Structure 1
Amino acid sequence: MSLQYISDNTGKTTGVFIPISEWNELKSKYKGIEQEHTDIPVWQMEEAGKRLQDYRNEPTQALDFDAAMEDIEKDL
């Protein structure tokens, strides 16, 4: 894929240009790629934000994924 990165005057990348032929290929391969997905309920977004803030406040309280899975599986 021949992407071109767009930068502002400070050099910060602000966008990506995808040639139309490649965009059309992506659209045919991934149906619905143009649709904006905003169907996440507000309460879920708020809960995710709260959990992220909790993690930022106390990152040591988070469980490792593998350890959490082991803990769940031992009770099955």
Structure 2
Amino acid sequence: MSNNEPRLGIPRNDGQLSIILNKGGARSGSGKKRLGLTKKTSLTLTEDIWKKIESYCKEHKISQSEALRNMINHYFEK
């Protein structure tokens, strides 16, 4: 394998595969920090509400997850 070919590596803690390029590799503590526990769910809303959420996300340049998280946090922090 030449130095320019990527290879797969397994970080010590999380066990997920990562791509390692020429130097370095996965480092403990690197990457985006977790905000909390992730749970997948399905949400049924009217088409009109989804359009409003999408518009809000574009206007504020945030992801749908971030927008919904902000709305839920705001509701429960009253």
With normalisation by structure 1, the TM-score equals 0.26
User: Per residue, is there more helix in 1 or in 2?
Assistant: 1
With normalisation by structure 2, the TM-score equals 0.26
User: Per residue, is there more strand in 1 or in 2?
Assistant: 1
